[in-house]
Chain A
Amino acid sequence: MLLRPLWGGGTPGAPRLGGAPPASGDPGRLGRSLTGAFFLAPALFMVGVWLVYPTVYTIVRSFFGPNGFVGSWVGVHNYKTLFTTSTLTTAIKNNAIWVAVVPALVVALGLIFAVLTERVRWAVAFKTAIFLPMAISAFATGVTWRIMYQQDPGVGAINALAKSISGVFSPAGVLSQAFPSTSALQATPGGGLELKAPLAPGGVARLGLVGMPVSGVPKGAVQAVLPTAHPGQIVGVVWRDFSPGGKPGVVDKGELGLPGVTVQLETAAGKTVKSTTAKPDGTFDFTGVAPGSYRAAIGARTFAKPFGGFSWLGPDLITPSLLIAYIWIWAGFAMVVIGAGLAAMPRDVLEAARTDGASEWQVFRRVTVPLLAPVLSVVFVTMIINVLKVFDLVISLAPESVQSNANVIALAMWRTAFGGENDFGTGSAIAVFLFLLVLPVLALNVRRFKREA
């Protein structure tokens, strides 16, 4: 299906129909017809059996039930099914999204690429890179992008990129998971932990945490130390409160401090007055604390989850993911066709506009685009047809579990008729529906040819 855009349309410069001269040495009407038949018959036979007959068959078949022609006339029931079954309406809705998004974006990208590369001499390399996906099967493209879209940022390239971007704005916390070791600590609404008992200057905060593997302890941690209190200061320790034979809430031998943990000193009203991070032995101190009642808390930032990756292949994002891959394929097609249109444009018109003082943007907007309009519309219409028939990319890129979410009309037809249900009645109705959607283009083609004739 990939390389099928070319039903295209008329060739403006092509010779007119009926251009053949009367042959000299005329063998007579019958003879000429026989010669014509000899040349045409094989092709007409193939087209008749593989295109005309099936078209008629499928249209008739769509009015019968799943069990064949005998005694199963169901009228328009299959068409009702098409518009009432949720997997099929999803397919229609998705295809509507495809039609709304892809042709416009492909034409826009193709136009931009074509205009940008027009005057750049080494642009051939760029054009080849953009055009390359056209030679690759839609099926292999699906495999290719499935590798790109893997959810684990360690494996999927796109999520790895997303992770490195998100890491700048919201870095992962030093502890991915931890629980309080005693009931002295409680969770805060914001996702952190705080001591239940208030502290006054001269107090010592013990923030014991468990539930993390040794590998989860931040790098550089050493034996935890319980600091001694000083007047005017609030000191404390945050540590991994777990060791064989150790007691919860007590800093035992073999228990490591948790460096890098953010500790906040909050007023009774919950306002953060001071903030610090724990040293390698887990100790921290707040100096110069005014008299009053405070709470020690571990900030939520400490427990911020690392970026887990967008679920590109999940049910919510699968259609956008497919659209991106599809545009990646077809931008090159639009670029080449529009580029050829651009090259054929009368230069003097552009130069005249520039001489008259038009800016490059004005030239583009007022001269180039209007002159290119016929080419742009051909690409646009071609893309609508392609998008309506899209199949290979969806079936190869979307994992089976989300194919119902990613469904499109051509895939729905195949799944209904051959993917287990084996309902040829409804399958035929879907095929006819698809045919009806592309039919206006047929009318367009025929009209153009008749005009040329």
Chain B
Amino acid sequence: MALAAPAIEMPAPRERAAAKAVRVMTKAPLRVFLVVLGLLWLVPTFGLFITSILPQSTLATQGWWQIFSKPSLATWSNYHALLHNQGLISALETTAYIAVGNTVLVVVLGAMAGYALAWLEFPGRDWLFIGIVGLLVVPLQMALIPMFRLYDSVGIYGTVFSIILFHVGFGLPFAIFLLRNFFVGIPKDILESARIDGANELLIFVRLMLPLGLPAIASLAIFQFLWTWNDLIVSLTFGVQPITVWIFGQLREFGTSIDVIAPASFISLVVPLCVFFAFQRYFVQGLLAGSVK
């Protein structure tokens, strides 16, 4: 699966064998450089994983790379201990609720709004869209204090529900931006023939727009999921404890709690990494749709 769009193939000019040999030779240093750099880039993540399978007593005096000389040091006991840690289990559940719940809502509400802004006629539509695009840049720090007050007075402070709603609010401008731009590119004829056939807008939305918009919806869902799975600041502020906040609470004792922090951090990485590898194409598409395309 290519990360970037494949380069346009050039008709290869015929090469003499000597010229080809020279080309291969000059490329060798580049290859070595790329391999070394790529491995170097993986070292921190790899180090985190190795750290997570070493006992705390070892880590106090030795670096994680000691495992190369003493592979027998490796142990799953850190992970075993975590699996029986009720705090971590419920933090993981909270993370999953937040990430899945808000992603579903953002996709549904974003698709509806995106459809309306792309294909329904009503006054002020384009200005509305521009206004929503403008909201894309609002830093979420702008909402922390007012929502803290509001959540407190409504009585939903500290609930998973309040976090989901916050993520939906801040996820919608990007969702609408992405989906509206995708929907607007769907050929007019398809819609018009559906309308002529007497389909109402809800039917067109469910039967036509959602299936046709699937690539964009997939990109959006992956982004929203990853973003909210990885969130720290929102849950930290509104008194909810997903995995990031749970680990954050242990950071004060970094040295002595490393046997908890490292495996928990790695567990928190596994789901995003799986999503990333499984849907790399959509991930990159979303990235490009959001920036240049």
Contact = CB atoms under 8 A, between A and B. Distances in A.
Contacts of B5: 339-340, 343-344
B198 A25 contact: yes
Nearest to A341: B292
B71 interface: no
Interface string B24-38: 000100110111011
Contact of B144 (A52, A431, A435): A431
The 8 closest A-B pairs by CB, nearest first: A50-B169, A6-B290, A137-B230, A7-B136, A135-B276, A339-B4, A39-B116, A43-B113
A375 B288 CA distance: 10
Interface in B1-42: 1-8, 10, 27, 30-31, 33-35, 37-39, 41-42
A186 B289 CA distance: 73
Given A3-B226, A125-B38, A445-B133, 10 more contacts: A1-B233, A7-B173, A32-B120, A133-B45, A137-B231, A336-B284, A341-B292, A342-B7, A395-B232, A418-B237
A6 B174 contact: yes
Interface stretch (A217-225, A240-248, A286-294, A377-385): A377-385
B89 interface: no
Contacts of A117: 34
B79 interface: no
Contacts of B81: none
A416 B223 CA distance: 30
Q: How large is the interface on B (under 10, 10 to 19, 20 to 34, 35 or more residues)?
A: 35 or more
B63 A156 contact: yes
Interface in B45-71: 45, 47-48, 51, 59-65
B98 interface: no
B44 interface: yes
Q: How large is the interface on A (under 10, 10 to 19, 20 to 34, 35 or more residues)?
A: 35 or more
27 contacts: A4-B174, A7-B133, A7-B290, A11-B292, A20-B118, A24-B195, A35-B116, A43-B112, A43-B113, A52-B135, A54-B147, A61-B146, A123-B34, A127-B4, A129-B39, A137-B244, A137-B269, A157-B65, A336-B3, A336-B4, A392-B230, A392-B232, A400-B252, A418-B144, A431-B145, A432-B142, A439-B137
A445 B136 contact: yes
B291 A9 contact: yes
Contacts of B195: 23-25
A317 interface: no
A139 B266 CA distance: 11
Interface string B261-275: 110010011001101
A1 to B, nearest CB: 7
B146 A144 contact: no
Contact of B254 (A33, A137, A146, A374): A146
Interface in B161-191: 165-166, 168-170, 172-174, 176-178, 181, 184-185, 188, 191
A55 B133 CA distance: 15
Contact of A137 (B143, B166, B229): B229
A147 interface: yes
Given A39-B115, A375-B292, A2 B230 contact: yes
Contact of A157 (B37, B64, B275): B64
A124 interface: yes
B257 to A, nearest CB: 11
A396 interface: yes
B48 A143 contact: yes
Contacts of B174: 4, 6-7
Given A337-B291, A339-B3, A375-B292, A61 B129 contact: no
A17 interface: yes
Contacts of B251: 143, 396, 400
A32 B227 contact: no
B133 A449 contact: yes
A42 B109 contact: yes
B182 to A, nearest CB: 9
A118 B9 CA distance: 12
**Which of A43, A123, A138, A374 neighbours the largest number of chain B CB atoms within 10 Å of its CB?**
A43
B145 A61 contact: yes
A421 interface: no
